[in-house]
Amino acid sequence: MSGIFGRLARQRALFALGTVAMLTAIVPANAQTTIKWLHLEANPDRLATWEDIAAAYEEANPDVTIEFQFLENEAFKAKLPTLLQSNEAPSMFYTWGGGVLKAQSETGAIRDLTAAMDADGGAWRNAVSPAAVDGLSIDGKVWAGPQQSGLVSFFYNKALFEEAGVDATAITTWDEYLGAVSALKEAGITPIAGGGGDKWPIHFFWSYLAMRELGQDGFAAAKAGEGFQGEGFLRASQKLADLGALEPFQDGYLGASWPDTQAVFADGRAAMMLAFENTATPSNQANAATDGKGLASDNIGRFAFPVVEGGAGLITDDFGGLNGWVVTTNAPPETEDFIHFLTIENASVLAERNSTLPTALGSDASVKDPSLADSAAQMAKATWHQNYLDQDLGPNVGRVVNDMSVELVSGGVTPEEALQQIQDAFSMEM
């Protein structure tokens, strides 16, 4: 890897921040190598940035072509395991880390990136947040090149909250949050945009409630073998069921996809949503909204998931993603070099144009969007960052967590029944 990085250093000087956006894709007729890039990015603006960066890499490397391949989120999760064992496996693909990445590392279908990270005296490793490298490592081996971290929190429509007489800045406890939900309903406003059709958006609620009840030590003990049927998990599950009993979501939320959910919020049809850090960015609002505009930036506020009375969790305990790129076993050797080019050399481009929080050290200075900067400020004070549970607990347990979260909020199961199913799935993995 050191030879590849050194050979391209002079060429890359041509593709600085100001020029990447102006490049168009060039597919050389004599291309000898194709890097197949499997992604699930549906936002055209974010995808355009990637295409520009890929074009810059192709320009610097005439013998390499970057081929974009797309799968929708749920199709990505469902089809990837089979795809990785086929002759059609991509060269690189998106990961959320956690148990899913661990399971993939055990199949022989993906490549250990430790040597690439440590080449040139650890140049790649030392350019990335240590927490990000650790988060995508398993038993001391690095299995993905980190790209970005994330934070899930509440985003709210300031005008609708004001109409209902609710002060979002005063919401710090779960009881205060439920009070806000009730006040919004009494004002004739749908409180929450929910995505029950995709299920994982609802697991955000269960995950945060469990974190707030158990705290970091209690949660770690559960994952280490104590299991998911203790009193803290029972209280968290009951709180989610209680929220569902208030009927806080839009009509039809049980069939709503994530794009549907984003549109509900961006259109002003619900007062808040529990979502990713880039939810409130202007480009995301415009792409999600029915009118192509969305909410004005100054009409969107954000607050952290509240604590629960008597719980061990802190309001500074964060929940969200840690994302990167996995390389498959038979991918061309240039794949690692391209991921380095994407995530390190163009980290500032990704931060500024795609409104993300790259893991490359120093790239946070390029974060311009106010709402994103606010999320970054919260993450900087985090006492614990927990990865998405549907990824952290592995594909089988994660799927049950997602299912049971929706069942709890919709009244389909009792807390005890939900926890039994999660525990059964967890026990099969032990």
Is residue 251 domain-shared with residue 310, that is, in the same domain?
yes
What was the pLDDT predicted at 30?
52
What is the pLDDT averaged over residues 336-343? 98
Largest Cα span, the chain: 66
What was the pLDDT predicted at 292?
94
| Rounded-to-integer distance, Cα 263 and Cα 371, Å | 18
Is residue 137 domain-shared with residue 267, that is, in the same domain?
no
pLDDT tens for residues 232-269? 999 999 999 999 999 999 999 999 999 999 999 999 99
Is residue 267 domain-shared with residue 330, that is, in the same domain?
no
Print burial letters for 380-392: b (CB count within 10 Å at least 16), e (below 16): eebebbbbbbbbb
Which CATH number belongs to the domain containing residue 63 in this structure?
3.40.190.10
DSSP string over 235-257 = HHHHHHHHHHHT--BPTTGGG--
CB atoms under 10 Å from CB of 14, counted, come to 11
pLDDT for 279 beyond 90: no
What was the pLDDT predicted at 7?
38
CA dihedral 146, 148, 154, 156 (to 10 degrees): -160
What was the pLDDT predicted at 188?
98
pLDDT for 11 beyond 90: no
| Rounded-to-integer distance, Cα 136 and Cα 129, Å | 11
CB atoms under 10 Å from CB of 86, counted, come to 9
What is the pLDDT averaged over residues 211-228? 95
| Rounded-to-integer distance, Cα 426 and Cα 105, Å | 19
Whole-Å CA distances, 185 to 181, 192, 238: 6, 10, 21
Token digits of residue 246: 């208030």
**Domain boundaries, position 309:** 153-319+381-429
CA end-to-end distance (rounded Å), the chain: 37
Is residue 266 domain-shared with residue 387, that is, in the same domain?
yes
Between 256-265, 376-385, 392-401, the lowest mean confidence (pLDDT) is in 376-385
- Residue ranges in 35-129 assigned as alpha helix (H): 44-60, 73-84, 98-105, 114-122
Residue 377: alpha-carbon gap to chain centroid: 17
- The radius of gyration of the chain from alpha carbons, rounded to an integer in Å, stands at 22
Is residue 299 domain-shared with residue 345, that is, in the same domain?
no
How many independent structural domains does the chain possess? 2
What was the pLDDT predicted at 303?
96
Which distant-in-sequence residues (6+ apart) come within 8 Å of 243 by Cβ?
178, 181, 205, 409
Which element (helix H / strand E) includes 324?
strand 322-327
| Rounded-to-integer distance, Cα 205 and Cα 189, Å | 20
> Which pLDDT band, with edges at 50, 70 and 90, does 114 fall under?
very high
pLDDT tens for residues 352-378? 888 888 889 888 788 888 878 888 788
> Which pLDDT band, with edges at 50, 70 and 90, does 132 fall under?
confident
Whole-Å CA distances, 388 to 5, 180, 312: 33, 26, 19
- Residue ranges in 170-229 assigned as alpha helix (H): 174-186, 200-221
Which distant-in-sequence residues (6+ apart) come within 8 Å of 358 by Cβ?
147, 148, 343, 347, 348, 350, 351, 364
Is residue 197 domain-shared with residue 312, that is, in the same domain?
yes
With beta carbons less than 8 A apart as the criterion, state whether 152 and 278 touch: no
pLDDT for 216 beyond 50: yes
Residue 133: alpha-carbon gap to chain centroid: 16
Whole-prediction pTM: 0.77
With beta carbons less than 8 A apart as the criterion, state whether 4 and 334 touch: yes
What was the pLDDT predicted at 282?
81
pLDDT tens for residues 322-335? 899 999 999 999 99
What is the pLDDT averaged over residues 181-198? 98
| Rounded-to-integer distance, Cα 25 and Cα 18, Å | 16
Is residue 216 domain-shared with residue 71, that is, in the same domain?
no
Is residue 218 domain-shared with residue 360, that is, in the same domain?
no
Is residue 253 domain-shared with residue 130, that is, in the same domain?
no
pLDDT for 230 beyond 70: yes
Is residue 75 domain-shared with residue 209, that is, in the same domain?
no
CA dihedral 343, 345, 348, 353 (to 10 degrees): -70
Average pLDDT, the chain: 90
Print burial letters for 15-30: b (CB count within 10 Å at least 16), e (below 16): beeeebeebeeeeeee
Is residue 408 domain-shared with residue 341, that is, in the same domain?
no
What is the pLDDT averaged over residues 87-113? 94
**DSSP for residue 307:** B
pLDDT for 9 beyond 50: no
| Rounded-to-integer distance, Cα 160 and Cα 162, Å | 5
What is the pLDDT averaged over residues 394-399? 90
Burial classification of residue 322, based on how many CB atoms lie within 10 Å of its CB (0-12 exposed, 13-18 middle, 19 or more buried): buried
With beta carbons less than 8 A apart as the criterion, state whether 41 and 376 touch: no
Which element (helix H / strand E) includes 285?
helix 282-288
Between 96-100, 174-178, 320-324, 377-381, the lowest mean confidence (pLDDT) is in 377-381
Is residue 169 domain-shared with residue 129, that is, in the same domain?
no
The residue type at 259:
P
Percent of the chain with pLDDT over 70: 93
pLDDT tens for residues 26-58? 344 454 899 999 999 988 989 999 999 999 999
